[in-house]
Chain A
Amino acid sequence: MSIALVTNLVALLVMPFALTGVINRVKSLWSGRKGPPIFQLVYDVRRLLRKAPVFSHTTTAVFGIAPYVLLVTSVASALITPLSGSTPFVSFPFDFVWFAYVWALGRVALMLSALDTGSSFEGMGAAREATFSTLLEPALFLVAGALCAFTHSHTLEGALALRPHDGASLLAWIAALVALVIVLQVEVARMPVDDPTTHLELTMIHEVMVLDHSGIELAAIQVASAVKLLVGASFVASLLNPWAGQAGILPALACLTLSLLVAVLLGTVEALIARLKLRTVPQYIVVAISAGLLALLATTWQTGGVQ
């Protein structure tokens, strides 16, 4: 119990920065560059914390509050996620419902802060974020419902402990992995959905919403995104981890290594694949919904249909 708490805490404090750094390093290596240090985000945040913010005349209190709401919701979602493979800080029945709506709250806060600037670019980013999230949420619930049906549990931790033991559960497991990777890519604004390093505002989603943020507020947003990345990556890692559910140093290390591998995967995808056209992004998310439906259908095969 206490070991899990310590490993979770370490994961929460170190991994968000490490994962972001690993993605950037992998991208650099693929493109033949040396790349920034793994913990570049720490330096960035430290620099931003020393800067005084500049707000637009147009903005209201919403703009100032939103970054902190986003940070609180990201950290809150991390608290119920098994970051190091087992025993999250908090776990309660139907915590995944709470999880989805807490993420939605953070998303709404960021969207409103974007609209608060009166910038057409930021409005565009907010509209895209809102549109894609409407397709993403059903995918998340389909996967969660299917995993819960297989594992007979009602918590995030229990659902992620699914291990394939027959054909039906193998299918559900693979489908869940596919869906979760897509959810991760969309939620943390990664390729092929969103290009975090693009220089053309017209094609941005997440980055365009934070154009006007500066100083500590920008640091809060960047840390919040990094924590979301950790949460999403540990979903996939927990599902992959052969020792999931066991407390201890080794299983935790395995899970954290898997999270890093997920970051390597994201970086590789980002380096090798071009961004999708914005019109085709919904179709990409529908793949996640279909995978979720497949996982759900597999639950009826497992129990042998009509009883």
Chain B
Amino acid sequence: MPTLLLFSLAVLLLGAVLCVVLRANRASAWVSLLTQAVASALTLASVFPLLRGAAPFEHSWPWPPPIERVVFRVDGLSAFFLSWSLPMTLLGTVYAAGYLKPYFDRGRHGGPHFALLNLTSVAFVLIYTVQNALVFVLGWEIAAVAAWLLVIWDYKNQKVRFAGFNYLVSTHVGLFVLVAAFMLLHSSTGSMDFHAFGDFLSHPRPLRGTIFVLLGVSFALKSAFFPFHTWLPRAHSAAPAHVSALMSGVIHKAGLFGFLRFTLLMGRPEEWMGWSVLGFGVLSACFGVLYTATQRDLKRLLGYSSTENVGIAAIGFGVGYLGWSWGVPALALCGFAGGLLHILNHAFFKCLLFYAAGSVYRATHTVDLERLGGLAKRLPHTAGLFLLGGLAISALPPLNGFVSELLIYSGLLGSGAPSSQDNLVLVATAALLAFVGAVSALSMSRAFGITFLGNAREPGLQVGTEAPAFMLAPMWLHALGVIVIGLVPEAGMLLVRPALRLFPIGPNADAALAPLAAALWANRLLAAFLLVAGVFGFLRARRARRTATWGCGYTAGSERMQYTGSSFAAHFARIFEPLLPALRRERLPSELFPQHSGQLATNHVDAVERRIFEVLGRGEDLVVRMSESIPEQPRFAFAAGLAVLVLIGVLLLESGAQ
């Protein structure tokens, strides 16, 4: 089986080379699609036995130092991530072939872009299977650089270059932290092998917590957890739609994979680790969703929603951690199953939403909510698919988002914690998750309603045609996943279960989840009734008599008077004003008879990004003021210098004594 996996690597690399070499875009696209299809098939074939319950397999090769030995190991966790990452990248490439066509028609060479998509798949195979820290970092770096180059497709635009650079810097800050963790591990174990890392980490020692924090920060940066998310909305709004989709839905899941991989290596976590993962998850989910409510840019909005959804997955993992550390298998089961399934679900609906947003951009050349409106009549497929994705991401039944959140809720509300105080915190977390769900429903109603319903808010907006088949096909397939996992969660659990078995979930995991099956039947019944209601309403709407919208007695209404994205979120934003800073630029007319026209621009900015710069600015001030005061008091400067020298000396002696 490992040979199949290696063969897929070779095919992908060959495809990447061919893509660059071939001059015709059409040829590059087909080569990329073909090689990725072959690689996906090979990967699926190699992980298929694991999905059916076979034992993990591994293969190792001797390699020149410093790597010494490369071990490819495919266990349940790798199988879970591999089973959807490569096929979804393939779908993204199909979408790219349609989405980039207008650029190709203008003479742009797309070969390198397709090669990079192939390299992304290569990175997945490496990250998800290798057991050597150096090769892991190599895969990590391939994914990061490929994603950066994919983001800056439109590199002539300065904003896009800035967004790409911002991403590149952030992802490398994460890499430094990861390398720091690996250096600590290497210096303690003398090996780069994950197996040795696991032996070291599974015993309680002071360094364990430090390494946990370092790894957590690094993986949080990769997956764009709050407050490490600032690069994400920029990158997502600048990148082509399929790149945003793949980054948000697939590539950044590598961060969560890394987190789970080291969770397994580390073994039973301490309680504080569980609480911090839970807290981090709640923070990400709440802040991510708050920002989705106020964004004007449709793709930025979806980007913040990624932060929200990795937060929800982390809430699940936090519950799993707590269950593991308390020795409550039922809690660990609900947490890890919910978190893993949510990762898969998020990949399905987030890609769908980004693809639909790309279709909007292709037709209108804008994703600014204040200009859009009424697209459902011109882009009916895109509208329906966006609505489906939006309902799923708001966790509304009977779609897939609800299933994974129900699993997490069942952990939070199941009174599984040993003390009532712990239960209290878990119930409060459930209430926050409910808040996240409600705000998500608000944001998605707003995003869909403002973009696709009503009339265009900019009267002269040129709307093109519906997306071509190359773009619609991946969307339909993702939509199918959203519906199928919603109605038959077993389909998703099939992929999740091998990964889940690695965690301490108790012997009768399936029996423990059985009570939730009733809710699934309720979902299916609801779906049947909704279908009937939908068909009935649809048929009636076609035959209804038509007239103008009721204007409440006012007869001069215009498109400009419709509710906009900003006005829809205004009431909500006012309640959460301290957390959602609004930037207001205005030059209002002042005289009684204004001679000049005024202007007003409002924008909701990222609090973290603003505060970082404010704090950095203040820190600089502080250093400047201190350094200014030193030369005026030479004695103080001498004493301070001496104190620092003594401190360094003491520290050196300390470490020497150890």
Contact = CB atoms under 8 A, between A and B. Distances in A.
The yes or no verdict on A and B being binding partners is yes
Interface of A: 52-69, 71-73, 76, 80, 90, 92-95, 97-98, 100-102, 104-105, 107-108, 111-112, 115-124, 126-128, 130-131, 133-142, 144-146, 148-149, 152, 154, 201, 211-212, 216-217, 278, 282, 292-293, 296-297, 299-300, 302-303, 305-307
Nearest to A70: B533
Interface string B524-550: 011001100110111011101111111
Contacts of B526: 72-73, 76, 102
Q: Which of B518, B536, B547 has the most CB of A within 10 A?
A: B518
A55 B420 contact: no
Nearest to B572: A131
Contacts of A62: 376, 387, 453
B430 interface: yes
B442 A131 contact: yes
Contact of A307 (B418, B559, B575): B418
A103 to B, nearest CB: 10
A58 B559 CA distance: 11
Contact of A90 (B383, B522, B544): B522
15 contacts: A57-B547, A69-B530, A69-B537, A76-B522, A76-B526, A101-B396, A105-B396, A108-B394, A115-B450, A123-B567, A127-B570, A127-B571, A134-B572, A217-B540, A305-B421
B432 A145 contact: no
By Cβ-Cβ distance, the 5 closest A-B pairs, closest first, are A123-B563, A64-B541, A92-B518, A115-B449, A145-B427
Given A67-B537, A108-B391, A119 B550 contact: yes
A307 B419 CA distance: 6
A52 B544 CA distance: 8
Contacts of A90: 518, 522
B420 A303 contact: yes
B460 interface: no
Interface in B541-578: 541-542, 544-552, 557, 559, 561-563, 567-572, 575
Contacts of B434: 100, 137-138, 140-141
Contacts of A133: 438, 441-442
A121 B427 contact: no
Interface of B: 373-374, 376-377, 383, 387, 391, 394-397, 402, 406, 409-410, 413-415, 418-421, 423-424, 427-428, 430-435, 437-439, 441-442, 444-446, 448-450, 452-455, 515-516, 518-519, 522-523, 525-526, 529-530, 533-534, 536-538, 540-542, 544-552, 557, 559, 561-563, 567-572, 575
Contacts of B391: 105, 108
B537 A61 contact: yes
A108 B441 contact: yes
B454 A53 contact: no
Given A212-B549, A300-B420, A120 B562 contact: yes
B464 to A, nearest CB: 19
Given A73-B526, A130-B446, 17 more contacts: A55-B541, A56-B548, A60-B453, A63-B541, A65-B533, A68-B536, A90-B518, A93-B519, A98-B523, A108-B441, A118-B374, A127-B446, A141-B433, A142-B428, A145-B413, A146-B427, A149-B423
Contact of A144 (B413, B418, B446, B523): B413
B571 A131 contact: yes
Q: Which of A145, A152, A292, A307 has the most CB of B within 10 A?
A: A145
Contact of B431 (A52, A71, A292): A292
Contact of B427 (A54, A108, A126, A296): A296
Nearest to A132: B571
Contacts of A67: 537
Contact of A136 (B438, B452, B536): B438
A282 B542 CA distance: 39
B522 A92 contact: yes
B64 to A, nearest CB: 55
A51 B87 CA distance: 51
Given A68-B536, A98-B406, A138-B434, A299 B423 contact: yes
A217 to B, nearest CB: 8
Nearest to A144: B413
A36 B516 CA distance: 46
Contacts, number: 279
Given A67-B537, A98-B522, A117-B454, A58 B561 contact: no
Contacts of A146: 427
A206 to B, nearest CB: 15
Contacts of A121: 552
A213 to B, nearest CB: 10
B514 to A, nearest CB: 10
Contact of A53 (B395, B449, B540): B540
Given A72-B530, A93-B518, A120-B557, A108 B445 contact: yes
A97 B420 contact: no
B419 A138 contact: no
A123 B568 contact: yes
A136 B442 CA distance: 13
Contacts of B383: 60
A94 B394 contact: no
A94 B516 contact: yes
B575 A55 contact: no
Contact of A61 (B414, B519, B541, B563): B541
A154 B413 contact: yes
Given A123-B563, A144-B413, A93 B435 contact: no
Nearest to B457: A118
A132 B402 CA distance: 21
B525 to A, nearest CB: 8
A126 B523 CA distance: 26
Given A120-B563, A212-B550, A69 B410 contact: no
Given A105-B391, A134-B442, A59 B519 contact: no
B449 A112 contact: yes
Given A76-B526, A118-B374, A212-B549, A92 B515 contact: yes
Contact of A68 (B423, B534, B545): B534
B571 A128 contact: yes
A58 B431 contact: no
A133 to B, nearest CB: 5
Contacts of A68: 533-534, 536-537
A126 B567 contact: no
Contacts of A212: 549-550
Contacts of B431: 137-139, 141-142, 145, 292
Contacts of A53: 540, 544-545
A55 B561 contact: no
Nearest to A80: B522
A66 B441 CA distance: 15
A116 B451 CA distance: 10
Nearest to A208: B552
Given A54-B547, A55-B544, A116-B449, A306 B421 contact: yes
Given A65-B541, A137-B435, A299 B424 contact: yes
B569 A127 contact: yes
A299 B420 contact: yes
A154 B410 CA distance: 9
A95 B438 CA distance: 18
Nearest to B536: A68
A94 B413 contact: yes
B58 to A, nearest CB: 40
A94 B396 contact: no
B417 to A, nearest CB: 10
A115 B453 contact: yes
B227 to A, nearest CB: 22
Contacts of A104: 394, 396, 437-438, 441
A56 B453 contact: no
Contacts of B387: 62, 112
Given A69-B533, A104-B441, A119-B551, A58 B454 contact: yes
B516 A93 contact: yes
Contacts of B541: 55, 59-61, 63-65
A220 B572 CA distance: 29
